[in-house]
Structure 1
């Protein structure tokens, strides 16, 4: 198969998840990857040394698949049929500000972002669809359970590719499947995307609980109650018959709540141990998406009138400096 027959895929972002996505796609002989790396020095380093110096630095970039690394976003978008967005939600608007609808014309967009666009109360797929005049049927999301660090280690992992258009899900799932990743298509775009956002808030709650000294018994009940909260809010926003025992919902929640690689759990643990939000953020090299998600989900749950005591408690701790111990005493009494 010559290069003109390959699937041209743009990957936007240079963090650990973007790097993991590049690694997965580079296993597929049918793709040619165009990678947008915002920092020109980082882009030059990747071109020269074939690895990301800042994230998953042990992952060697395959030059036969990653054909173009650039800090020019329009340049990276131009040849792509698919665009994978892997930029933290808080920075998506700024990062994509150099582009217009013409740069996104006829493209299929896959979001690997786990967050709400600040002040917009919109999912990343919804915002991109509106901003760049793309049909929602051409949008998809990548969900776990999957940590970038385990992709780097080539441990068996599972992904869900969700879209309103099942043909889109099926096609991209094939591109994201390799010897250590099984990607499956799914049709609940918004349910999967909202769950991927909320599970980061729950992981912060689990980390706070651990930092406060609560044990495994408490955390198990915390996660069970959190799953009910997630279902209540999703059903209010986007009613659909869905079983949250599906891998893309429950599996993603569990790995983020319990894993040693979960940056959101790590961030929450620091808060529970007495760190201020600012000091915890400064100490962590990577962004904990759940911090930004807590504010967005708080505003959305208020809008829909859905009571979510665990996620509301995380919001109050992070944004109103409410004492973590006091908040978790209330959460403990509300759970069953």
Structure 2
């Protein structure tokens, strides 16, 4: 077990909690800068593989892991203990269970950064709300990483853009500077809930786009679907968290577009399989990756029972995935509601 921290007074230590493609991409991004990385992985075999071969065997296996920059941990408490920043990069459905081994004391005086593009099932909490309610983390000590950005393009060092949101703009600016590099531009933003809800909802829209594609609807329909989706996101976000925001900015519209259209979008892929006739279970088994939109649509649908926002796309996806309405029937009805 490693007990010595790599952190120095001039190099901030950043803990990354998670071992998936986005966590691996964040390791690559941060390895470009003057930081020390403390990477926690649940799977001991994966950890040992990375230690030996400097590659994650399960995700983005072409990305080299720099052992001089990255320290591996099987103990989450130990990984977090020596860090000034803690990035959470676990699918939303598993965040609560993963963090259960930590307490509020473990997060004291640290900046928590959510890289989760989902919502906690059952509780219907955003990750920022989970950190505030269960770990007493102050909003000024919380940041959110949003897109538009896919892990696969980070692995290829394609020019990419990130949004760093925090109620404390200085905090967002500080972390944006840490994460920016030669192929990443990071922009600060103060609209935490708007950015976070938009990141959740764009996955639902990508599911709808995938379902429509699986049903052989064409580009013309998808253009109408996405433009109506932006209006749906606007209605929901402005009702739940009204404030001054530009929903045409990259954090909102840009993230929606890349998730709805990209070949790397797992939510679009999942939806495409559903549209082609896969059951939810068979699609999940074949993908072997989490499509955040599957859990998100149930949470957003339930949250909206309180607000009553007009959300025909969300409703159609919910009916397909949770009420077993045939995709062709649900999308066939939806197309008459779009303008």
TM-score, normalised by the number of residues in structure 2: 0.97
Aligned-pair CA distance for 1:90: 0.2
| Partners of 1:51 and 1:227 in 2: CA distance | 38
RMSD: 0.9
Deviations 1:259-299 (A, max 9, x none): 00000000000000000000000000211111011111111
Aligned-pair CA distance for 1:3: 2.6
Q: Which residue of 2 aligns with 1:53?
A: 57
Match of 1:277 among 270, 277, 280: 280
Aligned-pair CA distance for 1:115: 1.0
| Partners of 1:8 and 1:137 in 2: CA distance | 19
Aligned-pair CA distance for 1:308: 0.5
Match of 2:87 among 84, 87, 92: 84
Q: Which residue of 2 aligns with 1:335?
A: 338
Q: Which residue of 2 aligns with 1:9?
A: 14
Match of 1:36 among 12, 36, 40: 40
| Partners of 2:312 and 2:295 in 1: CA distance | 17
**Structure 1 unaligned spans of 5+:** none
Decide whether the 8 Å contact of 1:126 with 1:136 is kept in 2: no
Match of 1:132 among 120, 130, 135: 135
Runs of 4+ aligned structure 1 residues displaced above 6 Å come to: none
| Partners of 1:254 and 1:13 in 2: CA distance | 26
Aligned-pair CA distance for 1:329: 1.1
State which drifts further: 140-149 or 301-310. 301-310
SS of the counterpart of 2:259?
helix
How do 1:140-179 residues align onto structure 2 when only pairs under 5 Å count? 140-179=143-182
1:188 aligns with 2:206: no
| Partners of 1:137 and 1:320 in 2: CA distance | 40
1:248 aligns with 2:251: yes
1:235 aligns with 2:244: no
Aligned-pair CA distance for 1:129: 1.8
State which drifts further: 268-277 or 296-305. 296-305
Q: Which residue of 1 aligns with 2:123?
A: 120
| Partners of 1:143 and 1:116 in 2: CA distance | 14
Q: Which residue of 1 aligns with 2:27?
A: 22
SS of the counterpart of 1:63?
coil
1:296 aligns with 2:299: yes
1:106 aligns with 2:109: yes
Decide whether the 8 Å contact of 1:40 with 1:70 is kept in 2: no
| Partners of 2:145 and 2:300 in 1: CA distance | 20
1:315 aligns with 2:315: no
Deviations 1:206-256 (A, max 9, x none): 000000010000000000101111111111110012221000000000000
| Partners of 1:118 and 1:264 in 2: CA distance | 17
- Number of equivalences: 333
| Partners of 2:79 and 2:308 in 1: CA distance | 42
**Structure 2 unaligned spans of 5+:** 1-6
